[in-house]
Structure 1
Amino acid sequence: MTFVLNRRGMLRAGLATALLPGLRRLAFAAPSAPQTGLLVLVNLRGGMDGLNFLSPADDRALHEARPSSLIAGTSGDGAGHRLDASGKTDFRLHKEAEALAGIWHDGRMAIWPAAGMPLPTRSHFEAQAMMGWGGGQRGDVPVPDGWLAQWAARTARKDAPLAAISAQSGLSRELAGARHALALASLSDGAAPVGGGFGAAMLEVLHGRERGLAAEAGRDALAGLGSLDRLLPRDAAGKVPPYQPAAGVDYDSIRGLGRSMATVAQVAKLCPDLVAATVDVGGWDTHEGQPGRFAERVRSLSLGLAALDADLATLPRRWTVLVASEFGRRLRSNRSEGTDHGRAGVIFAFGGGAGRRFGLARHFGTWPGLAPDALEEGVDLRVATDYRDAFRQVAAELAPNGAVPFARG
């Protein structure tokens, strides 16, 4: 069982405050073994147009299938950032992804330009659900726990009071079933659940002396919340002051995404045992009016990831950010200046911390091309990399001894 830090989640779970006997004294212990790396999964919900985000700018088939406003081109107002990732194709990141291009040129990023689900689905629900637990085909037997929850169970310190977070109002599917996992949209009001004295009394009655998995999970969640709350700085009035990121890092200008990234960074600095975090970024289902909407989303994503990268630069342990969407968009644009659900999309990852060298630096996955005979069903960029293979590579580079469990393959 996991815990959502908001009033609705509190009432649903019957948990209100970390004041059970014994819980008040819990705090994070200093790790007794080398610290495990932190894996941050950023889900781009809605199906990001990978061909607009990362364009083979000199590919004639791309220019014949869509207007220049949906291509990161080689010149003009829409000129993208050249990556020099391939000797055969001029790949360009979207013009609003300048900060991400900088991370690539720093040698700290890997990109899989044609990755996705083996299952030929264009359903958001189906693709997101299967990617949450690590499935790839309809014949795979679903498992209740998310793949990142399983990975965290293999890599986290066993007595860690907090191992994973979703930096949002609800826990992501990838962390379903995780022990010592919390949904934390923000720490501006602290980490203790709301409820005051009444909440404490309710918790004492409902969970203090109960047995079973639900009560145990409740106590685990409260231990994590209480420990985290005790680590937060407070002023003379008992208020939590605004989070102060590293010098030069500005989360406020990135609105909602900035708050999520700031939460990840803040918890990562406070909790050396945190091994997994997720952030959901919506707004990528661009069936119409894509040029302006897409540019705004890419700008926000690029600035948010760059801010997190800079804020975690001095973290004394390894960390990796993995970014993926459930699928890409069609090669050919539609009549509404948008693109419809497609197949392969872009997965990318970058890392830092503890003076590390990112082991997958400048890795560039297989590119099948956009020639008519290379397309899937004649309309879509073909999936050349199973998303699970990309995820395995990223996780193995961060924690070689932490196996990533997937349905098969």
Structure 2
Amino acid sequence: MIDRRFFIAGGAASAAALGFAPRLVFAKAATNKRFVFIIQRGAADGLGTIAPVGDPAFVPARGVLAADFAGVPKLDSMFALHPNLKTVGALYAQKQALFAHAIASPYRDRSHFDGQNVLETGGAGAYQVKDGWLNRLLGLLPAEAAKAMAVSITVPAALRGANEVSSYAPSALPQASDDLMQRVAMLYEGDAQLHALWSDAMGTRALTGDMGADGPQNGVRNAAATGALAAKLLVPTDGARIAMIETGGWDTHAQQRGRLGQQLGGLDAMIAALKEGLGPLWADTMVLVATEFGRTVALNGTGGTDHGTASSAMLLGGAVKGGRVIADWPGLAASALYEGRDLKPTLPLDAFIGGAVAGHFGLDPARAMPALFPATRGTAIAGLV
């Protein structure tokens, strides 16, 4: 564990789901860097992902949920990683994974919709900011970077805003014939705008091939296919540079132990496929994994946990200075809990994201933080890349 004084630039920072039905978002940028944001919709349990096994209150507070970590090697003197995160654990050993704990956005209530809105827009409260921090990031990159593509039915809030975003989604419908596609292309040839849009769509279609032709997939297979698809669209030199992947199913109100293990196995498979698909480009890639808030420390009556406050976040990739966990650990004793029930937030998620993004793309943190998180007045965390 690394003390907060070590990693917050300039001293104190302000308080700055496998239901995997993932959707992806992509943005073009004049840079060799790749950035992927994986959002865990539903409030992922950070204590069940990166467990504070060195805290004497951990086993009494978590009960049966602590059993998954019995005999698991520690990351450091305090934390251990869930055993289903095998690829992530290997990345940590290679110093390509960094974890942050007791981390939270400025949001302090427990509504999924409001919490996700704060996480994606970078506001201090729900619906206070209309565009997303990922869309605003495009405006900080070179002009040619301000073009984005959403591979989903709708564009997530994190990528909505002034910078143009088009969309693409794999279809389970029968493939159109080559003759029909050629006729449509001929129809659009005389219209400069439609021809350009059609050409972009056909380029993306050629890259993805028939990856959606087998219909819906489930569980780990679905997650791995999503990671492979993301990599396929990030690899071309004229392709995407920024991707967003949405995952669901993290709302573990009942029977959490088995469900969370499956979720984490899917996340691990997604990251493994992404890394394999990117090949040498992994060295210039950063993957952010974050959720809207955490879960209660104690179990409820159905073997699950309820909506909480602080959770954990991850940075993965060859561009990350990994092999460490950063946390100003508040403890799990009853007297240390937020509102008597939740892990207390001590690290601002906005500052974590701002520092990661600024370092990765070579941006001035003093310029990046107000642009990405205008309402929080946070100080970016340094030394993440």
Is the alpha carbon distance of 1:326 and 1:263 closer, same or farther for their aligned partners in structure 2, counting shifts above 3 Å? Answer: same
5+ unaligned residues in a row in structure 2: which ranges? 1-27, 378-385
Query: Does structure 1 residue 171 correspond to structure 2 residue 159?
Result: no
> Aligned residue for 2:373?
406
Which amino acid is 2:108 matched to?
P
Once the 2 structures are TM-superposed, how far is the Cα of residue 308 of structure 1 from its aligned partner? 1.1
Query: Does structure 1 residue 370 correspond to structure 2 residue 356?
Result: no
Is the alpha carbon distance of 1:363 and 1:291 closer, same or farther for their aligned partners in structure 2, counting shifts above 3 Å? Answer: closer
Is the alpha carbon distance of 1:323 and 1:283 closer, same or farther for their aligned partners in structure 2, counting shifts above 3 Å? Answer: same
> Aligned residue for 1:181?
165
* Distance (Å, rounded) in 2 between the aligned partners of 1:317 and 1:65: 39
Query: Does structure 1 residue 83 correspond to structure 2 residue 45?
Result: no
> Aligned residue for 1:303?
269
Alignment of 1:224-303 (within 5 A): 224-229=200-205, 232=207, 240=209, 254-272=220-238, 274-303=240-269
* Distance (Å, rounded) in 2 between the aligned partners of 1:378 and 1:339: 14
Which amino acid is 1:174 matched to?
A
Which amino acid is 2:139 matched to?
A
Q: Could you list the per-position Cα deviations for residues 277-313 of structure 1 after superposition, in whole angstroms to 9, with x for gaps in the alignment?
A: 1111111101001111111111111121122123223
Once the 2 structures are TM-superposed, how far is the Cα of residue 226 of structure 1 from its aligned partner? 4.0
Once the 2 structures are TM-superposed, how far is the Cα of residue 103 of structure 1 from its aligned partner? 0.7
> Aligned residue for 1:334?
300
* Distance (Å, rounded) in 2 between the aligned partners of 1:285 and 1:253: 16
Once the 2 structures are TM-superposed, how far is the Cα of residue 366 of structure 1 from its aligned partner? 2.3
* Distance (Å, rounded) in 2 between the aligned partners of 1:101 and 1:51: 16
Aligned-pair Cα RMSD in Å:
3.6
* Distance (Å, rounded) in 1 between the aligned partners of 2:196 and 2:118: 28
SS at match of 1:41: strand
Which amino acid is 1:398 matched to?
H
> Aligned residue for 2:115?
127
How many percent identity over aligned positions? 27
Which amino acid is 1:392 matched to?
G
* Distance (Å, rounded) in 2 between the aligned partners of 1:106 and 1:116: 27
Contact 1:164 1:275 in 2 (8 A): no
Once the 2 structures are TM-superposed, how far is the Cα of residue 129 of structure 1 from its aligned partner? 1.1
Query: Does structure 1 residue 110 correspond to structure 2 residue 110?
Result: no
Is the alpha carbon distance of 1:228 and 1:47 closer, same or farther for their aligned partners in structure 2, counting shifts above 3 Å? Answer: same
Contact 2:282 2:317 in 1 (8 A): no
Is the alpha carbon distance of 1:317 and 1:294 closer, same or farther for their aligned partners in structure 2, counting shifts above 3 Å? Answer: closer
Is the alpha carbon distance of 1:195 and 1:61 closer, same or farther for their aligned partners in structure 2, counting shifts above 3 Å? Answer: farther
Contact 2:86 2:268 in 1 (8 A): yes
**TM-score, length-scaled by structure 1:** 0.72
Which amino acid is 2:200 matched to?
G
> Aligned residue for 1:152?
138
Query: Does structure 1 residue 50 correspond to structure 2 residue 37?
Result: no
Q: 1:69 aligns with which of 60, 65, 82?
A: 65
SS at match of 1:313: helix
Q: 1:385 aligns with which of 347, 354, 378?
A: 347
SS at match of 1:370: coil
**TM-score, length-scaled by structure 2:** 0.76
Contact 1:36 1:273 in 2 (8 A): no
* Distance (Å, rounded) in 2 between the aligned partners of 1:393 and 1:319: 15
Once the 2 structures are TM-superposed, how far is the Cα of residue 132 of structure 1 from its aligned partner? 1.2
5+ unaligned residues in a row in structure 1: which ranges? 1-28, 210-215, 234-239, 244-250
Which amino acid is 2:155 matched to?
L
Once the 2 structures are TM-superposed, how far is the Cα of residue 47 of structure 1 from its aligned partner? 0.5
Is the alpha carbon distance of 1:220 and 1:63 closer, same or farther for their aligned partners in structure 2, counting shifts above 3 Å? Answer: farther
Contact 1:112 1:366 in 2 (8 A): no
* Distance (Å, rounded) in 2 between the aligned partners of 1:314 and 1:406: 32
Contact 1:116 1:344 in 2 (8 A): yes
SS at match of 1:315: helix
> Aligned residue for 2:22?
none
Once the 2 structures are TM-superposed, how far is the Cα of residue 165 of structure 1 from its aligned partner? 3.8
Query: Does structure 1 residue 60 correspond to structure 2 residue 56?
Result: yes
Contact 2:135 2:159 in 1 (8 A): yes
* Distance (Å, rounded) in 1 between the aligned partners of 2:109 and 2:297: 16
SS at match of 2:200: helix
Which amino acid is 1:142 matched to?
V
Once the 2 structures are TM-superposed, how far is the Cα of residue 377 of structure 1 from its aligned partner? 0.9
Deviating more after overlay: 163-172 vs 332-341:
163-172
Instruction: Tell me the matched-pair count.
Output: 339
Contact 1:167 1:279 in 2 (8 A): no
Is the alpha carbon distance of 1:118 and 1:180 closer, same or farther for their aligned partners in structure 2, counting shifts above 3 Å? Answer: closer
> Aligned residue for 1:343?
309
> Which structure: greater helix fraction?
2
Which amino acid is 1:282 matched to?
G
Is the alpha carbon distance of 1:183 and 1:346 closer, same or farther for their aligned partners in structure 2, counting shifts above 3 Å? Answer: farther
* Distance (Å, rounded) in 2 between the aligned partners of 1:371 and 1:320: 34
SS at match of 1:279: strand
Once the 2 structures are TM-superposed, how far is the Cα of residue 65 of structure 1 from its aligned partner? 2.2
* Distance (Å, rounded) in 1 between the aligned partners of 2:196 and 2:347: 38
SS at match of 2:326: coil
